[in-house]
Amino acid sequence: MMTKRHLVIGMHLAVHGEQGKTGTLIDEHIAFAKRAEAAKLDFIFKADYLIAHPELIAKMKGTVGLDPSFLLAMVARETKQIGLVTTISTSFIPPYLIARQLQSLNWISEGRVGWNLVTSIDGAYNFSNDLMPSSEERYAKAAECKEVVEQLWHSNPYEALEADGDFEKIKELVKPIDYEGAFFQIKGPLNIPMHPAGDIPLFQAGASESGRQFAASVSNAIFAATPVMEVGIELRKDLRKRAVEVGRSADDIRLLPGLYFFIGDTYEEALEMHRQAHAYLTLDRRHSALESVIGINIRHLTLQDYVTAEMLPPEDQKVRSKTHAQLVRRYIIENKPTVAELLARPEVIGSAHLVAIGTPQDIVEQIVTFYEKGALDGFIAVPGGPAKSLDLFFSDVIPALVKQGLFRAEYEGNTLRSHLGLDTSS
């Protein structure tokens, strides 16, 4: 059970090439992680995509998109306490490899690893000729994969390392799992012992019906798109209710939306940062993004025309992401926006993160308000704008949250489980 604590704050490890620099930028990633560790953040997080899409490549600005687990292994060697959350898909990666990779990274980092378990919304064509499974099938497979991975971790317990070469004792401790399921048939055991820090914390991204139930049942935290307070409040209440219904405590699941921030000395400066960050999005690309998210074509309308609920396609229409589609539907139904307003929404032009624009005090007030209203338990900080915005986040926003008693001034332990309050060991 999770104990009641401060805000949980992670940060997206967002390093992009600048001034003509290209490549892996390993030193820059390490420096970024060290800044987050100096601020005593709970963890850094790295997303992953199993496709090569021109728009994703463009956003990287010359940075090589390494496998996040390999990147975090390098970061682990240069940091001491901050958690390291990597992303691995259960739809395509076999559970034995997942179990081995995560446990290896946990040993390298001395117990600081977290698993962002994703089911992926595309990329099937890179692994077979099969079509992308439905959301329900992907989550059913994810539940089974998660179960197999955890059984494999426990199939080779830490105590086997302390057997001092005693063959009979090792044979008694390290045993097959003989798993037989709908998706996997795995003998085991795993060929690497479990780190003494305990089970690796589980994160999950996605807030569809299947995603919510999965997160409430097994995850320690959920990364979700909550662009407005009402969406966050509803989602958090629903997750906590579902957790209780499956026999967990409501506090066992935490809602961590992405906080896409632009911070300046004035609101006007921060707003200009946001404008410049999205200046590359032409009107045609915004329309294309809307069509991709929800399947609605409004190119025949003027920017001043209104978009109404009657224009929406059937709700059961196949879409790339049910979560984002539902957010856009909800916004249209509740607000009847103009075309211009709709094409500027974060659900359309971004990942539906909670957007925070303003001075450091503005950002702190927004975080505190959302927290006090029950719209979040913490957040994943997603840097936006120039370097100054990130500097102000570290120099002003985090210290202000510490001063208000909402975040730690120092680490109390050395593992991610400790940071999240999952146990009392370091």
Determine whether the annotation assigns residue 87 to a binding site.
yes
Would strands 8-12 and 43-45 be described as parallel, antiparallel, or unpaired?
parallel
| Separation of alpha carbons 33 and 386, rounded Å | 17
Annotated binding residue 371: no
**Helix, strand or coil, per DSSP, at residue 368:** helix
CB-neighbour burial class of residue 123 (10 A; exposed 0-12, middle 13-18, buried 19+): middle
Phi and psi at 309, nearest 5°, equal: -60, -30
Confirm or deny that 48 is annotated as ligand binding. Answer: yes
Strand-strand pairing, 113-118 and 185-186: unpaired
153 Rama class: left (phi>0) / alpha (psi -120 to 50) / beta: alpha
Neighbours of 57 (CB within 10 A): 12
354, containing H or E segment: strand 354-358
What is the largest distance, in Å, between two alpha-carbon atoms of the chain?
Answer: 77
Helix axes 135-155, 95-109, angle to 10 degrees: 60
Q: Are the C-beta atoms of residues 85 and 114 closer than 8 Å to each other?
A: yes
Task: Report d(CA 329, CA 404) in Å as an integer.
Answer: 37
Element (H, E) at 118: strand 113-118
Report the b/e string of 188-217 with b at 16+ CB within 10 A.
bbbebbbbbbbbbbbbbbbbbebbbbbbbb
Q: Which of 199, 18, 224, 200 is nearest to 118 (CA)?
A: 224
Q: Is 208 annotated as a binding residue?
A: yes
Contact between 41 and 87 under an 8 Å Cβ cutoff? The reply is no
Q: Which amino acid is at 383?
A: P
Would you list which residues are annotated within the binding site for FMN? 48, 87, 139, 208
User: Per the annotation, where are the binding residues?
Assistant: 48, 87, 139, 208
